[in-house]
Amino acid sequence: MSSTDIIAAIATAPGLGGIGVIRVSGRLITPIILSLCARALKPRVATLCHFQDHADTLIDQGIAIYFPAPHSYTGEEVLECQCHGGPVVLQQLLRRILMLGARSAEPGEFSLRAFLNNKMDLIQAEGVADLIAASSEEAARCANRSIQGEFSKVVHQIAQELVTLRALTEAMLDFPEEDIEPQTLENQKKQLFFIDSHLKQLIVGSGQGRLLREGAVIVLAGKPNAGKSSLLNRLAEEDIAIVTEIPGTTRDLIRQNINCEGVSLQFVDTAGLRDATDIVEAIGIERTWSALQTADLCVFIVDATLGLTPEDDAISAQFPNSLPVITVFNKMDCLLTQPQLQSHPSQVWISAKTGEGLPELKKTILSALGWQGVADGVFMARARHLEAMQVAQQHLMKASETQLQQEIFAEELRQAHENLMTITGQITPDDLLGEIFSRFCIGK
């Protein structure tokens, strides 16, 4: 992937559409413009053009807009051609542009060039991809905040605080013959405390943003006929899973994405857990246990008319130790007397048949996942962001433990600072850039 080539790609989604857009970016794209449009274009002016092939035959009539460097998305010269959105027309126009000297853009290459040309930092570039992939209004708002630089601003503020502390520490190391005054050590300690506090706040907000971006997988587990499929149908508000009174009806995993307060939750209906002699049911039960190994949360469904039985206890004892579990007592509508409910963070009483208790169940699920709602401090974070922040926090902790050893203290501060800088891309290995931008859609 060369950053000096002229690149081109269809920037609109595949399929039929009223309008399609082809984007071209590179240095000295004027020859392409003159050949394609048969005229020069004024900067940032929508111009009606007849896009022509090599034989001057009309491909389509549309709009062309030229953006001179550096005032463009990529920081290079950019041409955007808007034509009718049929795939044949778009492919014809793209082939003509490629014949004129451009090459097909790789996924995310336009945004990569914007990053390399300092038009945006890495968080903002990732925010573009997150905005395109947003599954809710809340996710879109958080992605937009990253694109506008709010996430980057907080990271840079913490980094600047670290720079100030590092400068103080390095100055002290430059004069080792001088005794370090207690007041200086106390100032160091205070600054380190503030930095750590600000980083902890960012980690909490970023954890919320990661949940908003990636969602969570929730496995519905329990004995046969506990009401797992009925609950999935009630949550989805449609008949996704077959429900019968015959135990063992569900044989395979049934997945359904459901939006709860802007968070995309994938609920997985599973085969009822029991000792099965039917080979097909046994395979389904094996898949249930496999799903539980990778789930973010288990909703353990119990028949409220029977209460917790020894079989239920035996099932729950086999759940992964690290897996959060919510116990749901289903079939409240079948009870002769309503139970005296006591507040418990991991138990909910519902009726999948009538919908009673479902709002409380959704609230309990979000709480178990750590969701606190979208706030100003929530940013659309990725796993690499959180990992970098957590590693930086570990170095701050080590710095606190080694303050009296100023050389080690300074080194821990340096490593904390460098880890933070990988978030915005100021210190980023090339292979990480390739991994990040390869996940973008072509044309962006």
> What's the pLDDT at 379?
83
Looking at per-residue pLDDT, the higher value among 141 and 79 belongs to 79
Percent of the chain exceeding pLDDT 70 equals 90
What pLDDT is recorded for position 88? 95
Residue-level length of the chain: 444
Q: How far apart are CA 362 and CA 385, in angstroms?
A: 28
DSSP structural state of residue 43? B
Inform me whether the pLDDT recorded for 1 exceeds 60.
no
User: What token pair was written down for 115?
Assistant: 């990053």
Determine the Cα–Cα distance for residues 132 and 145; give it in Å rounded to an integer: 14
pLDDT at 225 over 80: yes
What pLDDT is recorded for position 210?
Answer: 86
Measured from the Cβ of residue 21, the count of other Cβ atoms closer than 10 Å reads 19
pLDDT at 100 over 90: yes
Does the pLDDT at position 175 exceed 80? no
Which residues fall within 8 angstroms of residue 168, CB to CB, at 6 or more apart?
A: 184, 187, 188, 191
pLDDT at residue 105 in the model = 95
Token duo for residue 258: 């459901």
Nearest to 358 by CA among 348, 369, 343: 348
State the average pLDDT for the chain: 87
Pairing of strands 19-26, 77-84: antiparallel
pLDDT for 104 equals 95
Q: Which residue has the tokens 């169940």?
A: 361
The strand order across the sheet containing 254-260 reads 254-260, 263-269, 216-222, 297-303, 325-330, 347-349
pLDDT in tens, 432-444: 677 667 777 877 7
Please tell me whether residue 104 adopts helix, strand or coil conformation: strand
Question: Maximum Cα–Cα distance for the chain, whole Å?
Answer: 84
pLDDT band at 236 (very low <50, low <70, confident <90, very high): confident
Would you place residue 246 in the very low, low, confident or very high pLDDT band (cuts 50, 70, 90)? low
* Per-residue confidence (pLDDT) for residue 262, from 0 to 100: 83
pLDDT band (50, 70, 90) for residue 347: confident
Encode pLDDT of 258-295 as tens digits.
988 888 899 999 888 888 777 887 888 889 999 999 99
Q: Which tens digit of pLDDT belongs to each residue from 66-82? A: 999 999 999 999 999 99
- Residue with structure tokens 């749901």? 328
Q: Extract the tokens encoding 384.
A: 């690499």
pLDDT digits (tens, 9 = 90+) for 19-49: 999 999 999 999 999 999 999 999 999 999 9
Query: Is 423:417 a contact under the CB 8 Å cutoff?
Result: no
pLDDT at residue 339, rounded to an integer = 64
Residues 6+ away with beta carbon under 8 Å from 74: 25, 110, 113, 114, 117, 119
What counts of helices (H) and strands (E) characterise the chain?
14, 12
**Per-residue pLDDT tens digits for 369-387:** 888 877 667 888 888 999 9
pLDDT confidence band for 178 (50 / 70 / 90): low
Give the pLDDT score at 133.
86
- Global confidence as pTM: 0.74
User: Which residue type, as a one-letter code, is found at position 382?
Assistant: R
Cis peptide upstream of residue 70 (ω within 30 degrees of 0): yes
Q: What is the C-alpha to C-alpha distance for residues 344 and 346, in angstroms, rounded to an integer?
A: 6
Q: Are residues 318 and 346 in contact, defined by beta-carbon separation less than 8 angstroms?
A: no
* Domains along the chain with CATH numbers: 7-119 (3.30.1360.120), 127-212+378-425 (1.20.120.430), 216-295+297-368 (3.40.50.300)
Structure tokens at 169: 């520490």
What is the gyration radius of the CA atoms in the chain, in angstroms? 29
Q: Which residues, 6+ apart, have CB-to-CB distance to 432 below 8 Å?
A: 384, 422
Token pair belonging to 38: 């048969």
Instruction: Evaluate whether 361 touches 328 at the Cβ level (below 8 Å).
Output: yes
Distance of CA 48 to the CA centre of its chain: 39
- Give tens-digit pLDDT for 187-222: 888 999 999 999 999 998 888 888 888 889 999 999
Check whether 252 has a pLDDT greater than 70.
Answer: yes
* Rounded distance between C-alpha atoms, residue 71 and residue 229, angstroms: 55
Query: For residue 90, what are the contacts with CB-CB under 8 A and spacing of at least 6?
Result: 10, 12, 20, 22, 83
pLDDT at 268: 92
For residue 214, the model assigns a pLDDT of 85
With b for 16 or more beta-carbon neighbours within 10 A and e for fewer, the 55-70 pattern comes to eeeebbebebbbbebe
Plot region of 28 (φ>0 → left; ψ -120 to 50 → alpha; else → beta) = left
